[in-house]
Amino acid sequence: MWLSRSPRTFRTLVHLRPFSQAAAAAVAPWDPTEAPLEYLEGFPRPDPKYNETILAIPRSSSGKNIAAKERKVGRVPSIVFEQANGQEGGNKRLISVQAKQIRKLVDHLGRSFFLSRLFELEVRSELGAGDIIEKVRVLPRKLHLHSGTDAPLNVTFIRAPSSALLKIDVPLVFRGEDASPGLRKGAYFNTIKRTVKYLCPVDIVPPYIDVDISELDVGQKLVMQDLKVHPALRLLQSPDQPVCNIIGSRGASEPKKK
């Protein structure tokens, strides 16, 4: 099974029940004033194993010198923004989070999966102690890692209430290469996209999208509109943009030179 930066928790994948375009079209647009949406049976949902509260303390100011001091004592300078139509902005809070906690989560989940997962954020006057200043559900929006050590340097979070619609780059997990007719003929699997951008209601943010390539033959491809997702998700990229394809071996198609 081929995975796109997939952590150990995704090595056993669920088999998706196909969700037809007609069925998706029959679902009325989601109204955030209605009852919260739920994950559909057969679609990926967050693994509770990685449910974790990210601990933080407030930070009074920003700047290179302040950031360097925070990193020196094992903290990562961060910002929490207010959700506004899927964008950052408003009600900004400067915070610092624990470098070891962020690194552990990124190592376990993978960078793309970390950026598509909701967490509880608890801001206290002191790490693990003191008064609670804010406790809120958030989505990691941006993550800056050191190019040499992969140590977290900055994290940006966005508040994620149930009423929110967030633009998220959802990771793709590919499966079915063992059964693919094209790959069994000796062709090659070509990954074109590793994430796809959707507008997601917060309560059903998918941790990843399962992509079945078991029926692909040489020269065939999957495009974004072929992906099976919750009908309340809205694709924000061209539906005809290719996600992956099967490429034939040049050596198999050309005569050998004598």
**Three-state DSSP class for residue 69:** helix
The terminus-to-terminus CA distance of the chain in angstroms comes to: 38
**Element spanning 167, H or E:** strand 165-175
**The domain that contains 106 carries what CATH number?**
2.40.240.10
Question: d(Cα 244, Cα 187) in Å, to the nearest integer?
Answer: 13
pLDDT at 63: 85
Residue 29 falls inside a structural domain:
no
9 lies in a domain? no
> Where in the sequence is the domain holding 91, given as residue range(s)?
50-159
Residues 69 and 24: their CA atoms lie apart, in Å, by 51
Say which residues have a Cβ less than 8 Å from residue 257's Cβ, sequence separation at least 6.
none
Predicted pLDDT at 35 = 62
Are the C-beta atoms of residues 239 and 224 closer than 8 Å to each other?
Answer: yes
> Does 203 reside within a domain?
yes
For residues 136-168, b (16+ Cβ closer than 10 Å) or e, as one string?
A: ebbbbbebebeeeeeebbebbbbbbeeebbbbb
Matching residue, tokens 């793709």: 172
22 belongs to a structural domain: no
| Token pair for 3 | 């995975």
Question: Has residue 152 been placed in a domain?
Answer: yes
Domain with residue 203: its CATH number is 2.170.120.20
On whether both 234 and 146 belong to a single domain, the answer is: no
Query: Cα 237 to the chain's mean position, in Å?
Result: 16
| Predicted pLDDT of residue 87 | 55
Supply 173's token pair: 């997990």
DSSP string spanning 179-226?
T-HHHHTT-EEEE--SEEEEEEEGGG--S-EEEE-TT--TT-EEEGGG
172 and 153 assigned to the same domain: no
Total number of domains constituting the chain: 2
- pLDDT value at position 92? 87
| pLDDT attached to residue 60 | 85
Q: Please provide residue 244's backbone torsions phi and psi, each rounded to the nearest 5 degrees.
A: -160, 165
| Domain limit, last residue, from 137, 159, 181 | 159
Confidence at residue 163, expressed as pLDDT on a 0 to 100 scale: 83
Q: Identify whether residues 93 and 75 lie together within a single domain.
A: yes
Say whether both 146 and 62 belong to one domain: yes
Residues 155 and 59 in one domain: yes
Q: Is 83 exposed, middle or buried (0-12, 13-18, 19+ CB in 10 A)?
A: buried
Tens-binned pLDDT, residue by residue, of the chain (258 aa): 344 333 333 332 323 333 333 333 333 445 655 667 899 998 999 999 889 999 999 998 888 899 999 999 999 999 999 865 545 566 789 999 999 999 999 999 999 999 999 999 999 998 878 899 999 999 999 999 999 999 999 999 999 998 888 999 999 999 999 999 999 999 999 999 999 999 999 999 999 999 999 999 999 999 999 999 999 999 999 999 999 999 986 544 444 444
Domain end (from 159, 174, 202)? 159
- Name the domain boundary from 111, 142, 159: 159
